[in-house]
Each structure stands twice: as C-alpha cells, then as structure tokens.
Structure 1
C-alpha cells in the first residue's frame, strides 16, 4: 500500500511539473507574439512557428550553458524562423564569382606614412555614425552598409552627420548589378552614387523595406562619392589601419549561422564560419581589446533590439573571423 501511494505521488508530481512547463512555454509563446507583433494566418502556421520557437529556445539555452563560449545568445524577434528563412530575408550580400576581377574602385588603400595606429578606435564617439537602422524583411543589408560608410566619409569631410537613403539605393541601382531586396553589393552602390551624382537623404526618401520605383530627386541630395577604395583582401592589420585612419568601412561576413541570428553580447567567434562564403554586409566602426581578446565593433542593420544595441563585437586577429577582412571597401568623397 505504501509503495502504491509513493508511486502515485511521483506520478502526480511529474504530471504537475509537465503541466507547469506547458503553461510556462505557452505563456512565453504568448508573450513572444505580443512583444514582436507576431500574427499568423491560421492555427496550422502558428503551431509550426511555435515548434520552431521552442527548438530555437532549446538551442539558445544549450549554448549559454557552456561557459567556454565568449558570447551569449538570447531569444529575439527572429525566434520563429528557420535558419534558411532568416538568411534569405535578412542577409542579402551577393558577391559575383568573378568579383575580384570586377572591382573597379579608384584604387587600393595605402596606409599613410608616419602614423601610429591607436590600440582602440570607436567612431561612434566621434560623431561619424548614425543610429542603428532596421532593414526588416528585405535583403538590403548591402544598402545599409553602403550608406553607413558614406555617412562617415561625409561627416569626415564636412563635420555634418546626414542619414542617407537606403531606399534610394534599393530602388535605383539596378543597372549597377544590385537587385533591391534580393541582394546587392556595396561596391555597386558606390558606383551608382558616383555615376548618379549623389544620393538623397533618408528624410526625403524614407525606407520602405520593399522594391519600388526610383524617385531620386537631386534637390534632396544628401551626399555623393567619387568612387571607392578597396582594402587589401584578408589582411586584418590593413583593415585596422584603414578603420583608424579613414573611418567606418563596409565589409562582408558569413552570417549564415544561428549563433549570429540570436547573438546578444560578448565577442563573437563562430568556428563554423567561412572566410570566403559571404552573405551579409555590415559596417566596421571601430576595434578594441577586452580581457586580452581583440575585437571589431560592427554596426548591423537588424534594429537596435538585436545584439549589443544593434552592434556586434566580432573576434579580431583570429584568422579573419567570418571573412570580415575579405571584402572591405569605402567610398571616396
């Protein structure tokens, strides 16, 4: 009789714990939907998304459990998306196979003579960088990387920080081998701005996160360039010097991993990252060192709610992490 009672008690406790867990995950799911404005077409889709959310939740917890990881993950608005879905709509760097032959910038960056490169740089502190933006569900990262680099160079020359129009690039640079929300390349964007004679301000030509008709208006021009410069491919020391002496630099990275999708804080180093298969354009705005670990300060375009207020610190001097030094360039103003 005593054994039967003990067995019944164990079953009841297990059942209560299971129900509590179900209620907890249900409450979390409802909070996730409300927090991120998630609306699904029907119950079938919602249950599908909920399963993805729970699996992502499990992976995030597993990653954070191990202290060896120098960075942490957190659930965010991308929690109901599969990795390939996420990459398709939130990345967008498209690098032609023969791109090294096609890079037709003004030339290659040469480090200035007799300049001592500082151990740390953060161009946000000097006024070179506009607030973090959000590309939303449009593969226009290349446009945000381009405007960020151009905004920095215009500030360097004029002392005025002007937010430039990504939508202008999305809508108008198709003839320069960009493809709007389906992807593009900062170098092509710089070529468009040079040939077009300018780019409109964000205020006059706001972002829509979709392909639209070109509406460039020269009277709303906020900036221009005369071409672009490449930084030596794969050379992190050269990239460091360029960032220190020029300003924010456009780069491409491999952003195809879930660890980046849910990055929260810390110095990011993904062992599976490729240094050649690049699919996302971002902006290097500085660099530094923390507890002996070198890092790049990188501005992303997934909103200020992602990462470290919209930024990520990526490992520096660790074999060109995620290809950050593979495709650097900046516009000439």
Structure 2
C-alpha cells in the first residue's frame, strides 16, 4: 500500500508538470507562470495563440548556422581603461539623426538580419557626418539582392550583410512608402500584436522575399549613384569593447538565441525564464543602463513601436545571455 501511495503521488506530480509544459507559450496561463518566475521583467499578452507560426517566423531571421559563418576573429580595438558612463542612449546622444530615432516593422518577413544591419549602417553614416547626412541604407536592397546573405524573408547571416556593404554596396532607401531614397521597403507594416490598430493583420499576409531589382523605384534617382559602402567589418564580443564602439561610432548589430518567453516581453530587464529555443533574432544595440540593480542593453527591435518599450527591450547585460554579446558586428561607413 505504501508503494501504491508513493506511485500515485508521483503520478500526480508528473501530470502537474506535464500540464505546466503543455501551456501554450502565448497563453494567459503561461504568461502568469513567466511573471511568477521572472525577477527583473514583466510579461504580457502581445500575440494571439493563433499567431504562433508567424511569431516563430519573426524570431527566425538569423539562420541556425550563422555562427559557423562568422569567421571573423574577435576584435578589441578600444582601450578599456577609458571611462564609460553608467547609462547611454544613442537617441539622446545623436538627436538629429532621424535613423537613430526610427523603430522598424519587419512585417510578415524574417528580415531582422537585414533591418538591424541597415539601421546601424544608417545611424553610423549620420553620426560620422556630425549629424548632417540623413541617409537610410536600404533594407529592401540588402534583403532581396544579397545572395550570400541567406534567404531574404526566410532568414540570413548578419555578418554577410556587412561584407556585402563593403564589397558590393547597398543603395539608399527607408521605411515602407517613406520616400527615403532609391529603394524603400516594399512590405507594408502589419499588426503583430493583440491591441489591434488600423494596420492589416500579419496573420493575413503570406509574404515571400521580393525580387531583386538593380534599379531605383524612386523616380529621378540612379541605382549606381545611390550606393553606399562600408569599411572592413569587425566582430566584438566583450562588454566594454561593445560600449566603447557604440560611444565612438554608433549603434551595432547583434543576434541572440530566442527562448519562447521573449515574445511576451512588456517591461523591465529581460532575462530568459525558459530554455525552449525557437529561433535566432537580430537587433540593434542603441545603448545601455542599469534598472533596479540590473545591468541592461538598450535594444531596438523591429516589431513596430507598440511592442515592448515603444519598440525597445532592455536585455540583461554582461553575461552574454543567449549570445547577445558574442555576436556583435559593425563597420564604419566609407564617407
């Protein structure tokens, strides 16, 4: 009888554990669990359960073998004895750079690898010109025309984007219908979240990668004359080196392993409560700070301004959480 009682008790425990595991990552029950476990951030309902396939596509813009493609040695170009402020925000440091202030919407497309790259490239052109040159480097051109970079809306390699900027060049172009250069983004913003707006639902779209065209969609502009170029890319993987690079040259691109609690982020300093990997995602690091004793990177996402903190996430800093610090790439523009 004693054995039977123990077996029954173990069965109840096993069933309870299974029930916990069976909660959908976007369900209210799972969000409640996350908030019980998370110490430094809050989760909330950003997506409907039926949007899960679209969410997984959104967080799979960095191909699984991207790290194998990263053949750059880690660089340490900065003197780490230099003073670094406790907080830094590129939006405040370079307020006249329009691109620095911009949050993107990748739409129903896994183009985060291209958006994070061209966003940082655009920022750096403005910063290197002392905030006088307002140029958007075209996501559309990079996402559709760089064959070595991967598969466009089905994911790519961040480092290859920077090599493409160096060797081939990327024309100008900004947001969807932004009239910001040669080739603007052709995929319309869509409603990723549950607080519905006038944007079309991402779940209703089935975008494929647009065709590459070596011509400007904007009248009066020449493709070859619209090309921008970068210098040799660098790979940074150490906290102080990344900070000094941002202070001196502007925001950088990075990528990280996404766990299934990340899409529910609302506020605070994110640190994964789950080990369930769902994809690789690229973002732009725009600064850093400390909140309630937790160090964080200030990161611009590409899911529009109604996700997270007006489109941003504070991501735990200094422990290479989910690879956030070991996958940083950047380059200076050729000006």
TM-score category, normalised to shorter length: 0.7 to 0.9
> How far off its partner does 1:332 sit?
1.9
> How far off its partner does 1:296 sit?
0.5
1:245 counterpart = 2:248 = yes
**Greater share of helix:** 1
Mapped to 2, the partners of 1:271 and 1:67 lie a distance apart of: 7
Counterpart among 239, 249, 261 of residue 259 in structure 1: 261
The runs of 4+ residues in structure 1 deviating greater than 4 Å are 52-55
Unaligned runs of at least 5 residues, structure 2: 1-22, 175-179, 188-207, 216-222
Counterpart among 182, 185, 197 of residue 207 in structure 1: 185
Mapped to 1, the partners of 2:137 and 2:48 lie a distance apart of: 26
Task: Calculate the aligned-residue CA RMSD, in Å.
Answer: 2.9
**Conserved in 2, the CA contact under 8 Å of 1:90 and 1:136?**
no
Counterpart among 224, 230, 235 of residue 230 in structure 1: 235
Q: TM-score under structure 1 normalisation?
A: 0.73
- The 1:220–1:57 alpha-carbon spacing in structure 2 relative to 1, beyond 3 Å, is farther
**Conserved in 2, the CA contact under 8 Å of 1:254 and 1:273?**
no
The CA deviation string for residues 110-162 of structure 1, in whole angstroms up to 9 with x for no partner, is 10476322221100112351411111221111001101110121011122332
Counterpart among 71, 78, 85 of residue 41 in structure 2: 71
Q: TM-score under structure 2 normalisation?
A: 0.72
> How far off its partner does 1:200 sit?
2.2
Unaligned runs of at least 5 residues, structure 1: 1-51
**Conserved in 2, the CA contact under 8 Å of 1:146 and 1:190?**
yes
1:293 counterpart = 2:294 = yes
Q: What residue is the counterpart of 1:93 in the other structure?
A: 62
SS in 2 for 1:240: helix
Mapped to 2, the partners of 1:55 and 1:143 lie a distance apart of: 26
**Conserved in 2, the CA contact under 8 Å of 1:53 and 1:81?**
no
Larger Rg: 1
Mapped to 2, the partners of 1:113 and 1:57 lie a distance apart of: 45
- The 1:67–1:185 alpha-carbon spacing in structure 2 relative to 1, beyond 3 Å, is closer
- The 1:67–1:142 alpha-carbon spacing in structure 2 relative to 1, beyond 3 Å, is closer
The CA deviation string for residues 172-199 of structure 1, in whole angstroms up to 9 with x for no partner, is 101x242111111221111112222332
Q: What residue is the counterpart of 1:331 in the other structure?
A: 331
Mapped to 2, the partners of 1:164 and 1:314 lie a distance apart of: 26
> How far off its partner does 1:298 sit?
0.4
Mapped to 1, the partners of 2:297 and 2:25 lie a distance apart of: 32
Higher relative contact order (CA 8 A, sep 6+): 2
